Amino acid sequence: MELSANFIDANVRILGLLKKQFITHEESNSSYYKRQNPSVLRSLEAENSVLQEMLGALETTLKSQESALCKTLDDVKQVRTRVSTSCCFINRLPNEILTEILCKASRYDGSIYNKFDLNVNFAPHFSLRLSHVCRRWRAVAISSPSLWTEIKLCPGSYQILLQGEFWQSLSTYVRDAPMNISITDSEICTELVLARGYHWDDEMSYSDVVVKCYPDGAISHMQSYDLRTFKTINSITLDFHFEPDLVSLLNSEYQNLDCRCHTLRVAPTYRSRGVDILEVDLSVLLYHFDAEVVECIKTRILVPSEGSYGRGVTEIRFTEVKAVPLDQLLMAFPEITALCCTDCNLEWQRTDITVHAKLRRLELERSTGSMQCRWMNYLQCPALEELHASEWANEGAFINFIARSPRIRTLTLSGRDEKSLWGLAGRITRINHAVHDWRLYRQMKVPPPPPKWYPIPPDYSSESSLRLVFRRGSLALDLEPSQFDIVGGRNIVESPSGTSLPLS
């Protein structure tokens, strides 16, 4: 609106100057050019007519601008009236809706804009600032544990995180709610080292500052990150960028990061400066973090040769790990109950029988090494109840492994053609119940017609309870609906004729 007024004033000034120029020019023409050649006089008259047209156009523009300005003023008055009469201000909202708004705002992570030097309130103290807007906001924020359960230790927040009062207040606010803490060690440790006044040579790269100098230079400051006071931490994510291994970051001489959590996830997101893959020493990792579930993605694994520091670990998950020493892993962690390897390369070096007494679930999904390794010949799991295997090189060894697992109840097979699946099923005489996984059918309401040349053998024993799970999308079972279960699917099977058949 202010710009429109300025534009109108400028046009008025230009119009006045043109009028003055036109009058002066006309007077000079009448006194001087009348004595000149008639052709020159005609050209001057034509020029005067052009100036008159310009004056008319400017007058028209001025009138339109004045009309638009008046309309804008009327619109502003209408909006002000509508806002003042019908708008519900945020402080008039119920506590439940205001809590949801504050939670959405606190989840905003401005760290991606840090490189542009914007004034962004970084988590986690963004929630703290939200609680200091007014009395009502503070009362709602303090009474909402969900507002404080997601913590990001990222650049820009290290100064407030060094204050012990922040952690004490946070521990009070979260109450018994589970917490999710994400630690970006690379940049935050660099900030801590620089805050201590340490100076490094100009030749030293960014990764060198973190890897070589962090253990000695920032130990005292990292005491403020003691997370042992929190007893209900749900998950901690370690996001490493440039480090080659954990030994340079998590010094075994102190346990300031030693804390209890349910899930510990190590997921490097960026590799550069000569670092191809992050090397994770499980003994060093579990010396600092006492987790129940450990998940490593796209890393190199070092398994301790002797006893493990994993006091509470019960489940280990590997995804896209190049070499998983399966035998060493099971020997180093005798207390785990579940081992899941997805898209991994499995290795087995032992030549004697290895017994793991507490392993209940073993998942080897798309793990290429499982075809060549010898785990089926030498591994014995008397407590194993669930086995997921996508490939097997030797059906005889595979069946012998199942025979050495008397408590196995669920067997999931995939990765082979239907004939191989049914051929293997025919050799496992303990199967009497089939569970069909329908999750691969997606939009289909009914399974395709069953293969008549692969019927279920009728002579299965009714005393055992082992279930065979086929996860092939093109495989259907030649059974009555009451004879199989649905895993992750519908509770009603529709026949091609449209009749609904309830499962009993």
Exposure pattern of 167-176 as b/e (b: 16+ CB <10 Å)?
Answer: beebeebbee
CA dihedral 413, 418, 422, 425 (to 10 degrees): 0
Element (H, E) at 411: strand 410-413
Please state the φ and ψ torsions of residue 400, each to the nearest 5 degrees. Answer: -65, -35
**Residue 148 one-letter amino acid:** W
Give the domain ranges of the chain.
Answer: 2-87, 90-176, 178-313, 317-408, 429-504
**Cα dihedral 327, 329, 330, 332 sign:** positive
The answer, yes or no, to whether residue 456 has pLDDT greater than 60, is: no
Residues constituting the chain? 504
pLDDT of residue 188: 46
- The tens digit of pLDDT for each residue in 234-270 reads 777 776 665 555 655 555 554 545 566 778 888 776 5
Rounded Cα distance, 213 and 190, in Å: 9
pLDDT average, residue stretch 475-497: 36
pLDDT of residue 361: 93
Q: What is the DSSP letter of 57?
A: H
CA dihedral 57, 58, 64, 65 (to 10 degrees): 160
**Residue 483 · residue 434 · CB < 8 Å:** yes
Rounded Cα distance, 27 and 348, in Å: 109
- The tens digit of pLDDT for each residue in 193-208 reads 344 333 333 332 222 2
Average pLDDT, the chain: 63
pLDDT average, residue stretch 159-181: 66
- Band (317; pLDDT cuts 50, 70, 90): very high
Residue 480, burial from CB neighbour count under 10 angstroms (0-12, 13-18, 19+): exposed
